[in-house]
Chains A and B, each alone.
Chain A
Amino acid sequence: MDLAIETHDLVKVFGEQRAVDGVDLAIPTGGVYGVLGPNGAGKTTTIKMLATLLVPDGGTATVLGHDVAREPAKVRARVAMTGQFASLDEDLTGLENLVLLARLYGYSRPAAKARAVELLEAFGLGDAIKKQVKAYSGGMRRRIDIAGSIVVRPDLMFLDEPTTGLDPRSRNQVWEIVRGLVGAGTTVLLTTQYLEEADQLADRIAVIDHGRVIAEGTTGELKASVGSGAVHVRVADPASREEVARLLAESLGAEPVLESDRAAISLRVGDPSGVAAALHRVGERGLVISEYSLGQPSLDEVFLALTGRPAEDDAAGNDEEDAA
């Protein structure tokens, strides 16, 4: 298999904290590879090492056939990145930012201008060409960040939490752009905190926690390891909740969780095919269910299943941003 990225025992230490603690990755060329994990898991630090912005403290990393420590310039010539840590100059206009990047990539002055205008229009930013980037909305910011990364289409693109904090419409736009990129032949390494995002976009996923890869596989494999999802039920009459919970537990063979909402029950199920029958059985007893849904496991549930504890959002978390 042709690998875009290969790492062995990659390590980065900030003071006392082992931000990346022996990461092994083998990421194939083409498609989207998702790196999933909570804040501070080591995702950003890993990407920074792969993009040659940080020097690893241990292990090796090869990107597009070049060792990041020995041939950083060759890596930089073929990758691009976008994310929380690689943005544009807020004081300049959208046009000036892209012209600046195009000039650095080697375009002549008129060609740089033409390329910048072309990109801004393609990304639906034609009206904001002369606006300073600091006046852009969150979704516009993310789009121009990505536009800045494809002035010259990279062979490998790092997208660090591209949709965190975006509204659903902007998020969908970013997803469409990512699919477009992959269609054009770019390999995308995407980090995210959302399983849904990884599920929508990624072909394979690595789950990272505390600087280590704790699971790796296709989305299907990953979900199967967790159980396919959760059934959420709301009963019409809270008084009937316990009985409904008992019936569902019997039919589905799963442990019911009585939530703080007095009408809500949730169950983790391995096989969703029995859910309809179980709900039917509840109805036969004359008990009324007002609402139900069958959802994917959330990142929290994946974590719970993989580590036996909930995803910690802050413990090791915010230090990473400070240290990095």
Chain B
Amino acid sequence: MTTQATRSQDAPALDAGVIAALGSGERPQPANAVRSSLTFGWRALLKIKHVPEQLFDVTMFPILFTLMFTYVFGGAIAGSTQDYLQYALPGILTQTVVFITMYTGLTINTDIDKGVFDRFRSLPVWRASLLVGALLGDTLRYCLASIMVLTVGVVIGYRAPGGVSGVLLAVLLLLVFCFSLSWLWLIVGLKVRTPNAVMGVSMMVLFPLTFISSVFAPPETMPSWLQKFVDINPVTLLCEAARGLMNGAADAGDITIVLVLSAVTTAVFAPIALRLYNRKS
């Protein structure tokens, strides 16, 4: 059936308002890189406000992990749950925060999926600010998760010999490392087709990386071939540096290695992520 052309006169009278609104749009200078990044960070906060469920993993998993590992494995591994808690809490903190980095990839992939990605990319602002803003939002998640783990830990008896400053420095070190690792997840998020696949890939990498480390048990008890991997695993390095800070036995060597590692990771992955992002079709 062909359609009959009817130049309609019955459209609601919104056009007068529209024309007025069109005329009144001034043309300011677009936001600079810092401001656009902060604005995208603000968007990440708004998303947390509207979809608080996304904080569920961030808050529930750390609590669950802390309790589970302390009371299930603690006695067997360290002789008493209290001794184990002293050993494992910095590790659980490390694992929790490192695990949350995968949400970076998930967020960007969901944006692409929904079509809002192209809108943002078509704006006259520094393109990478969407990514930087997302990383800023992630930082909030890392902080929340750290607070959860530490609170639960203190409630069930953890005391940090390194004091408040040691704990804060350890969290700061974790943030630096996770910021660099997030670039890798951005690459995954830009490359993989669906949010579910992003989860799958991230899990495959993160599970071995966090468990085959010194997070939950001292490597000395592991077979020597496994120890070789544990010793070079970046998560072990990070965990040991954080543990040192929290135990009041900060090791400048460990900390330096983590900082260098973070710098190298960023230097390698950030340009790749930005290039993929710019050329994403």
Cβ distance B29 to chain A, nearest Cβ, rounded Å: 5
- B contact residues around A85 at 8 Å (CB): 115, 118
- A contact residues around B42 at 8 Å (CB): 100, 103
Q: Interface readout for A70-89 with B: 1 if CB under 8 Å, 0 if not?
A: 00010011011100111111
Q: Interface readout for B18-42 with A: 1 if CB under 8 Å, 0 if not?
A: 1111111111111100011001001
A199 close to B (CB within 8 Å) = yes
From 1 to 20 in chain B, residues with beta carbon under 8 angstroms from any chain A beta carbon are 1-5, 7-8, 10-12, 14-15, 17-20
- B contact residues around A121 at 8 Å (CB): 17
Q: Interface readout for A31-72 with B: 1 if CB under 8 Å, 0 if not?
A: 000000000000000001001111100000000000000000
Secondary structure class of chain B's binding surface, majority of residues:
loop
B47 close to A (CB within 8 Å) = yes
Cβ distance A261 to chain B, nearest Cβ, rounded Å: 10
B281 close to A (CB within 8 Å) = yes
- B contact residues around A150 at 8 Å (CB): 21-22, 25
The interface stretch among B82-90, B122-130, B201-209, B262-270 is: B122-130
B116 close to A (CB within 8 Å) = yes
- B contact residues around A132 at 8 Å (CB): 50
From 32 to 76 in chain B, residues with beta carbon under 8 angstroms from any chain A beta carbon are 35-36, 39, 42-43, 46-47, 50-51
- B contact residues around A52 at 8 Å (CB): 122
From 256 to 280 in chain B, residues with beta carbon under 8 angstroms from any chain A beta carbon are 279
A90 close to B (CB within 8 Å) = yes
A123 close to B (CB within 8 Å) = yes
A148 close to B (CB within 8 Å) = yes
Q: Interface readout for A146-178 with B: 1 if CB under 8 Å, 0 if not?
A: 001011110000000000000001001101110
Cβ distance B13 to chain A, nearest Cβ, rounded Å: 9
* Residues B17 and A76 in contact, CB atoms below 8 Å apart: no
A105 CA to B32 CA, complexed, in Å: 9
CB closest chain-B residue, reference A322: B193
CB closest chain-A residue, reference B119: A86
* Residues B30 and A77 in contact, CB atoms below 8 Å apart: yes
CB closest chain-A residue, reference B25: A153
* Residues B2 and A122 in contact, CB atoms below 8 Å apart: no
- A contact residues around B2 at 8 Å (CB): 229-230, 232, 293, 295-298, 301
- A contact residues around B36 at 8 Å (CB): 104
From 105 to 130 in chain A, residues with beta carbon under 8 angstroms from any chain B beta carbon are 105-107, 111, 115, 118-119, 121-124
* Residues B121 and A53 in contact, CB atoms below 8 Å apart: yes
Cβ distance A51 to chain B, nearest Cβ, rounded Å: 5
- B contact residues around A124 at 8 Å (CB): 12, 14, 17
Cβ distance A131 to chain B, nearest Cβ, rounded Å: 11
Q: Interface readout for A209-250 with B: 1 if CB under 8 Å, 0 if not?
A: 000000000000000000001101000000000000000000
* Residues A176 and B14 in contact, CB atoms below 8 Å apart: yes
- Partner among A176, A184, A199 whose Cβ is within 8 Å of the Cβ of B5: A199
- A contact residues around B24 at 8 Å (CB): 115, 118
* Residues A105 and B14 in contact, CB atoms below 8 Å apart: no
Secondary structure class of chain A's binding surface, majority of residues:
mixed
* Residues A53 and B122 in contact, CB atoms below 8 Å apart: yes
A227 CA to B149 CA, complexed, in Å: 74
* Residues B8 and A104 in contact, CB atoms below 8 Å apart: no
* Residues A106 and B17 in contact, CB atoms below 8 Å apart: no
A181 close to B (CB within 8 Å) = yes
Cβ distance B72 to chain A, nearest Cβ, rounded Å: 37
- Partner among A76, A105, A196 whose Cβ is within 8 Å of the Cβ of B31: A105
- A contact residues around B124 at 8 Å (CB): 73, 76-77, 105
* Residues A105 and B123 in contact, CB atoms below 8 Å apart: yes
* Residues B281 and A87 in contact, CB atoms below 8 Å apart: no
* Residues A86 and B17 in contact, CB atoms below 8 Å apart: no
- A contact residues around B46 at 8 Å (CB): 91-92, 96
* Residues B281 and A324 in contact, CB atoms below 8 Å apart: yes
Most buried by B among A86, A88, A105, A186: A105
- B contact residues around A298 at 8 Å (CB): 2-3
* Residues A176 and B116 in contact, CB atoms below 8 Å apart: no
From 100 to 118 in chain B, residues with beta carbon under 8 angstroms from any chain A beta carbon are 114-116, 118
A152 CA to B24 CA, complexed, in Å: 9
- A contact residues around B119 at 8 Å (CB): 81, 86-88, 148
- Partner among A73, A93, A122, A293 whose Cβ is within 8 Å of the Cβ of B14: A122
Cβ distance B51 to chain A, nearest Cβ, rounded Å: 5
CB closest chain-A residue, reference B43: A100
- B contact residues around A87 at 8 Å (CB): 114-116, 119
- Further contacts, 10 of them, CB under 8 A, given A119-B21, A153-B27, A194-B3: A48-B281, A87-B114, A92-B43, A93-B50, A103-B42, A121-B17, A169-B11, A293-B4, A296-B2, A324-B281
Interface residues of A (CB under 8 A from B): 14, 48, 51-55, 73, 76-77, 79-81, 84-93, 96, 100-101, 103-107, 111, 115, 118-119, 121-124, 132, 148, 150-153, 169, 172-173, 175-177, 179-181, 183-184, 186, 194, 196, 199-200, 229-230, 232, 293, 295-298, 301, 323-324
Q: Which 7 A-B pairs have the closest CB atoms?
A: A295-B2, A106-B28, A122-B21, A122-B17, A172-B11, A77-B124, A184-B22
Question: What are 20 of the A-B contact pairs (CB < 8 Å)?
Answer: A48-B281, A73-B124, A79-B122, A88-B116, A89-B43, A92-B47, A105-B31, A106-B29, A122-B17, A124-B12, A150-B21, A150-B25, A153-B22, A176-B14, A184-B23, A186-B22, A200-B7, A296-B5, A323-B281, A324-B281
